[in-house]
A and B are shown apart, each in its own frame.
Chain A
């Protein structure tokens, strides 16, 4: 909200800055420290120089131009005459006008000089309101009152020089959306006297609240929509009466347009008091006014010329013709005050904050009035605000105020908060003392009564806010309120609907005393157990992928159906069913992602577009998958007690599955060409290795199997499985080369690769792993044996390796391959006890004539070692034979070149 300082100082009696009072910077600092953040200070009008009050002596209408041009002689004092050219025609000889002399500077640094135009020398310029930055009116010259002092500095005369504060009003502080509220805070901040603008300019005290049957009748039909409704009437206003300059300047400084006398006066008082006011054209009303909710099918054309379909929850002002105003939001067009309206009905009301907020949201219509009602308006201001409006209108526009008013009302609950007198001390961790606490609360307008010594415990905080507590939290012996002490009963002022709880009152005391007075207590160290295994695992995975050359990115979680098409997903693929966002930023991407890949591929493509040919990326992020049998919606639980177990379960049941995934994409060279030789393109193997990196970090047992799944190349896709326990396996994800159609759809280079794993599943599979158990390190030399095995092309290398390992394991006393008790190792366990196959390494894969069609040769180095001795050549050969025999049994492997 914009507030001119001069307006505030009218009600907060601060010493002016030039008489030793605080300057505007200090004022802004103190207001901010008190909770009214001053976001900016605009030193308006400081740049205006050389504009004086002048009088038009005579006007020569020039002809022969495409538009009317006047050549005017003006005076601004004895012997001070100039002639100026002017294109406006809204003034006459004898009018007083602002004259910018040559050398003058107008707002925005616009310099005026004498110049020849339309065949005459224009020795200055007479100004419009827009040129002086006090309105938007460009068309006409600003005509001044006849008593404007000739020759006076116009900026000083019109009060153009001011400091405008931009107050960032938080949504709890409706009262601060007014000069009244800000001036109160300003007076408190500097300990200055404060005059409540709601108390000035009123008719006699008896007159303010006097009801009269003469005034337009009104009633409240729905007291939940409106609890105060006041109407007053003024008759015989001059609709063409000029809006005085001071009012225009103030409205302009407060960021409001000048419209007409009636609108400007109601706006002025809204800014000053915080009470929205509305003026109806008396002649357009018919029948008594009723405040009620809308009925099905009702419509209203509002002042902005929009015809609105009304919702049964909308709060309306109606007359016998139907709706005439969206309450507290915007008036109707049919009853708008026009330039013919001489008789006005002024409305001041108090509408439901939530009701106006909903209405304003529903109709996407935030007005200065609805913004105030939604944040809370003083519910005892309507009589006085409307009285001031009537008085001000007739003072400025002539006519008469009809005596009395119409006052419809519904009871408003009186808020009274009982709390321990030292509650603010307990919240702040300091001692303010009773007198400070009570005087601060009284400063903000509270009525405070303090009980005598030791009145007993106050009501519990939970009771104070109408809450229910479970029995597990019975009040504690050392609870903060159990000490018998003084109690305060506090009745907050009518303009502070935000003060309902003891903590609200504590905040008032603490903020006014200053947050800097709160002591700093060094934190005690709670007995935290550090990061969980899952949290540590996630960090290690990120580090490992980064170490392997992958760059982490955070791609967009928003997705589209087109993404699913690009990924070649089948129509019934569950990854097409991501949660839908009701109000997406882009209609193109209304879904939440079910896979990280489209986002990653787009980032990949962006990097390629920026000239990086070789890119490897990864992301760790949540994906969202519809849950089978989920309830239609998550309930909104009550908040006056903790939720029950089943209530919590009902919330969880509605939420989609949100597993954490890790994905990687890669394109171009994984190894660069350079002076050392050629580079190497990324391949399916790199993508699968990226998955292995993740799985190795997790320590979960895992396996790699050939599979096909969109969006991967059907012959180059691995499924990765984790084993949470013996004999159980969970699909963790897929890796490999992308399907050529996917590569094309995303505009990527051929043979781009990707992997994606369900990290949540991996984490769960690894959750029960204990600490790593140390291996036995033998210092005896190894015996290495190379074997080349011929197997069918279709046999996965992983199976051959597993068989070799199993075969060798049978030799070890604690080998886990002993399931085959009929093993063919003919008693080797006796002689070869303790031989360990320490490592199996595939060093060559060969296909070709020598191994026969449809076969391949896999060459392995087997490294054996015993814990207690050097293996003999015979032992090593026997161990090798055992491993090969098992491979032969399981995979049909034949020893190449063997007998």
Chain B
């Protein structure tokens, strides 16, 4: 096209001719369509839409046209460039979708592969169950009291109203600590956590509510149901006006918290030198809820179809024990209860052989994880 240009030198701009623009557009669209991947498309973009692309250069020539021609040429070039841009965008989208389909599929992995680089650790169930038992009482407002494992005989026996030579002392199968020449040392491996009661009464202000978990020792040979080293948790409350009704309340709250809502408890007379009256505590079987002991009930392995499971000993603190701790039994009364942690493990977690708790096989602790 060579329109007359009165004001300027008549310069024929071939590049802006309709034919030429159409040719450039067609070439660009063909290159874009031919781009097989994003890299080729990038090259096509440079070649046909970049700063050095013919259509870009042509666009720069528009100013050289006479004013009358500019609009038409501008429109022509603009339409062509828009078409190229649109083609680029659409091809870009196609190719990206293509890539996503292909590449991300190729990169897929088996997410079910294991990642057991590190073996899992665990806490011992005696620890976690003791902690759980203590939690129940701590939540009830009790504090945790502690005492030594090698204990003075006075704490372990005398202060707890075990008279010297009484058969009750004999029944404890005590390990005695040898004195310097192998003689009497006045010390034993504590046979129960009850000496902590004495320590608590001697050191804490009244009223007191404490619970004491810990390791105990009796000279039993290790077998499925006995271990020379075992664990107990014991509770003690000393306050004004405490009665056996309070003891029953505490026991019943504890059993429900630890073993299940609504489980009934039953006390039956027993004997401990440090409590009077004394009782053993049974709870309704948490598995069959007593059904196995009723006529026609399905047998229960957990309670051996008794309907009840013995779990603890308890009683009202013997006034003699209060006296040995310098507490006036006419002003204060108390109750105490104690249970075996291993026994709780057996009842609550189905441990059948106590040796599993002392042998340290990693499978045993690992099965329990870190909380009971």
Residues of chain A touching chain B, judged by Cβ–Cβ distance below 8 Å, are 32-35, 37, 170-173, 353-355, 357-358, 361, 371, 374-375, 426-430, 460-462, 465, 467, 469-470, 472-476, 478-482, 501-504, 506-507, 510-511, 515-516, 518-523, 525-532, 535, 539, 542-543, 545-558, 579-585, 592, 603, 606-607, 610, 612, 614-617, 620-622, 624, 632-637, 639-643, 648, 651, 654-656, 658, 670-672, 674-676, 679
User: When the two chains form their complex, are residues B158 and A476 in contact, meaning their CB atoms are under 8 A apart?
Assistant: no
Chain A residues with CB under 8 A of B331: 473, 475-476, 479-480
Chain A residues with CB under 8 A of B329: 460-462
In the complex, residue of chain A having the shortest beta-carbon distance to the beta carbon of B222:
A585
User: When the two chains form their complex, are residues B270 and A553 in contact, meaning their CB atoms are under 8 A apart?
Assistant: no
User: When the two chains form their complex, are residues A636 and B153 in contact, meaning their CB atoms are under 8 A apart?
Assistant: yes
How far does the alpha carbon of A615 sit from the alpha carbon of B120 in the complex, in Å? 10
B222 → chain A closest CB, angstroms: 8
Chain B residues with CB under 8 A of A556: 229, 358
Most A Cβ at <10 Å: residue of B115, B150, B153: B150
Chain B residues with CB under 8 A of A553: 124, 360, 362, 365
User: When the two chains form their complex, are residues A554 and B120 in contact, meaning their CB atoms are under 8 A apart?
Assistant: no
Whether B32 sits at the interface, judged by CB under 8 Å, is: no
Chain B residues with CB under 8 A of A535: 144
Stretch among B48-56, B68-76, B163-171, B283-291 lining the A interface: B163-171
Whether B228 sits at the interface, judged by CB under 8 Å, is: yes
Answer whether A526 and B124 are a contact pair too, CB < 8 Å, given A503-B277, A521-B243, A539-B131.
no
**Can you list 16 A-B pairs, Cβ within 8 angstroms, ordered by A?**
A428-B244, A501-B276, A526-B239, A539-B131, A543-B123, A546-B121, A555-B360, A582-B178, A582-B185, A607-B362, A636-B153, A636-B186, A639-B324, A655-B150, A670-B118, A675-B113
How far does the alpha carbon of A58 sit from the alpha carbon of B168 in the complex, in Å? 59
A771 → chain B closest CB, angstroms: 20
User: When the two chains form their complex, are residues B320 and A542 in contact, meaning their CB atoms are under 8 A apart?
Assistant: no
Which of B144, B152, B164, B221 touches A634 (beta carbons < 8 Å)?
B152
Most A Cβ at <10 Å: residue of B120, B166, B179, B362: B362
How far does the alpha carbon of A336 sit from the alpha carbon of B106 in the complex, in Å? 100
Chain B residues with CB under 8 A of A639: 158-159, 161, 320, 323-324
Whether B370 sits at the interface, judged by CB under 8 Å, is: yes
Of residues 200 to 219 in B, which have CB atoms within 8 Å of A's CB atoms? Answer: 202, 207, 209, 215, 217, 219
B141 → chain A closest CB, angstroms: 4
Which of A375, A547, A648 touches B121 (beta carbons < 8 Å)?
A547
B232 → chain A closest CB, angstroms: 14
Q: What sequence of 0s and 1s flags, for each residue 321-362 of chain B, a beta carbon within 8 Å of any chain A beta carbon? A: 001111111110100000000000000000000000111111
Residues of chain B touching chain A, judged by Cβ–Cβ distance below 8 Å, are 113-124, 126-127, 131, 138, 140-144, 148-155, 158-159, 161, 163-168, 170-171, 175-180, 182-187, 189, 202, 207, 209, 215, 217, 219, 221, 228-229, 237, 239-241, 243-246, 248-250, 252-253, 266-271, 273, 276-279, 316, 318-320, 323-331, 333, 357-362, 365-366, 370
In the complex, residue of chain B having the shortest beta-carbon distance to the beta carbon of A645:
B202
User: When the two chains form their complex, are residues A616 and B119 in contact, meaning their CB atoms are under 8 A apart?
Assistant: yes
How far does the alpha carbon of A470 sit from the alpha carbon of B118 in the complex, in Å? 61
A735 → chain B closest CB, angstroms: 17
Which of A429, A558, A607, A632 touches B179 (beta carbons < 8 Å)?
A632
Which of B170, B182, B320 touches A465 (beta carbons < 8 Å)?
B320
User: When the two chains form their complex, are residues A521 and B248 in contact, meaning their CB atoms are under 8 A apart?
Assistant: yes
Answer whether A672 and B167 are a contact pair too, CB < 8 Å, given A581-B175, A636-B154.
no
How far does the alpha carbon of A531 sit from the alpha carbon of B144 in the complex, in Å? 6
Answer whether A528 and B209 are a contact pair too, CB < 8 Å, given A612-B362, A615-B362, A674-B116.
yes
Chain A residues with CB under 8 A of B326: 469-470, 472-473, 641-643
In the complex, residue of chain B having the shortest beta-carbon distance to the beta carbon of A370:
B167
Instruction: Count contacts between A and B, CB distance < 8 Å.
Output: 353
Chain B residues with CB under 8 A of A502: 319
How far does the alpha carbon of A380 sit from the alpha carbon of B115 in the complex, in Å? 79
Chain A residues with CB under 8 A of B122: 546, 551-552
Which of B152, B165, B167, B358 touches A655 (beta carbons < 8 Å)?
B152
A612 → chain B closest CB, angstroms: 6
How far does the alpha carbon of A476 sit from the alpha carbon of B239 in the complex, in Å? 13
How far does the alpha carbon of A517 sit from the alpha carbon of B358 in the complex, in Å? 41
User: When the two chains form their complex, are residues B240 and A476 in contact, meaning their CB atoms are under 8 A apart?
Assistant: yes
Chain A residues with CB under 8 A of B119: 549, 614, 616, 672
User: When the two chains form their complex, are residues A579 and B143 in contact, meaning their CB atoms are under 8 A apart?
Assistant: no
A279 → chain B closest CB, angstroms: 26
User: When the two chains form their complex, are residues B117 and A671 in contact, meaning their CB atoms are under 8 A apart?
Assistant: yes
Which of B117, B154, B320, B370 touches A672 (beta carbons < 8 Å)?
B117
User: When the two chains form their complex, are residues A426 and B243 in contact, meaning their CB atoms are under 8 A apart?
Assistant: yes
How far does the alpha carbon of A519 sit from the alpha carbon of B247 in the complex, in Å? 10
User: When the two chains form their complex, are residues A550 and B328 in contact, meaning their CB atoms are under 8 A apart?
Assistant: no
Chain B residues with CB under 8 A of A504: 276
User: When the two chains form their complex, are residues B151 and A655 in contact, meaning their CB atoms are under 8 A apart?
Assistant: yes
User: When the two chains form their complex, are residues A361 and B277 in contact, meaning their CB atoms are under 8 A apart?
Assistant: no
Chain A residues with CB under 8 A of B253: 522-523
Chain A residues with CB under 8 A of B131: 539
Chain B residues with CB under 8 A of A621: 215
User: When the two chains form their complex, are residues A672 and B245 in contact, meaning their CB atoms are under 8 A apart?
Assistant: no
Answer whether A633 and B127 are a contact pair too, CB < 8 Å, given A515-B279, A581-B177.
no
User: When the two chains form their complex, are residues B330 and A461 in contact, meaning their CB atoms are under 8 A apart?
Assistant: yes
How far does the alpha carbon of A475 sit from the alpha carbon of B202 in the complex, in Å? 19
User: 7 closest A-B pairs (Cβ-Cβ)?
Assistant: A642-B326, A429-B243, A35-B269, A429-B245, A553-B360, A170-B271, A603-B360
Chain A residues with CB under 8 A of B361: 606-607, 610
User: When the two chains form their complex, are residues A479 and B330 in contact, meaning their CB atoms are under 8 A apart?
Assistant: yes
A470 → chain B closest CB, angstroms: 5
Answer whether A354 and B164 are a contact pair too, CB < 8 Å, given A428-B244, A476-B328.
yes
How far does the alpha carbon of A685 sit from the alpha carbon of B273 in the complex, in Å? 53
Answer whether A654 and B185 are a contact pair too, CB < 8 Å, given A173-B271, A583-B175, A610-B361.
yes
User: When the two chains form their complex, are residues A579 and B177 in contact, meaning their CB atoms are under 8 A apart?
Assistant: yes
How far does the alpha carbon of A712 sit from the alpha carbon of B362 in the complex, in Å? 24
User: When the two chains form their complex, are residues B359 and A606 in contact, meaning their CB atoms are under 8 A apart?
Assistant: yes
Q: Other CB < 8 Å A-B pairs besides A472-B326, A527-B141, 6 of them? A: A172-B273, A375-B167, A427-B333, A460-B328, A551-B365, A671-B118
Chain B residues with CB under 8 A of A173: 271
Chain B residues with CB under 8 A of A547: 121, 370
How far does the alpha carbon of A136 sit from the alpha carbon of B153 in the complex, in Å? 44
A418 → chain B closest CB, angstroms: 14
User: When the two chains form their complex, are residues A520 and B277 in contact, meaning their CB atoms are under 8 A apart?
Assistant: no
User: When the two chains form their complex, are residues B316 and A427 in contact, meaning their CB atoms are under 8 A apart?
Assistant: yes
Chain A residues with CB under 8 A of B279: 515
User: When the two chains form their complex, are residues B124 and A478 in contact, meaning their CB atoms are under 8 A apart?
Assistant: no
B108 → chain A closest CB, angstroms: 16
Chain B residues with CB under 8 A of A521: 243, 245-246, 248-249
User: When the two chains form their complex, are residues A531 and B245 in contact, meaning their CB atoms are under 8 A apart?
Assistant: no
User: When the two chains form their complex, are residues A542 and B186 in contact, meaning their CB atoms are under 8 A apart?
Assistant: no
Which of B120, B142, B215 touches A526 (beta carbons < 8 Å)?
B142
Answer whether A507 and B269 are a contact pair too, CB < 8 Å, given A671-B117, A672-B118.
yes
Which of A375, A522, A582 touches B177 (beta carbons < 8 Å)?
A582
In the complex, residue of chain A having the shortest beta-carbon distance to the beta carbon of B219:
A585
B292 → chain A closest CB, angstroms: 16
Which of A473, A525, A550 touches B327 (beta carbons < 8 Å)?
A473
How far does the alpha carbon of A355 sit from the alpha carbon of B155 in the complex, in Å? 23
Chain B residues with CB under 8 A of A643: 154, 202, 324, 326
B315 → chain A closest CB, angstroms: 9
Chain A residues with CB under 8 A of B243: 426-430, 521
Which of B114, B154, B358, B366 touches A635 (beta carbons < 8 Å)?
B154
Chain B residues with CB under 8 A of A610: 361
Chain A residues with CB under 8 A of B246: 429, 521, 523
Chain A residues with CB under 8 A of B202: 642-643, 648
Chain A residues with CB under 8 A of B219: 583, 585
Chain A residues with CB under 8 A of B175: 581-584
Answer whether A632 and B180 are a contact pair too, CB < 8 Å, given A521-B249, A641-B326, A654-B185.
yes
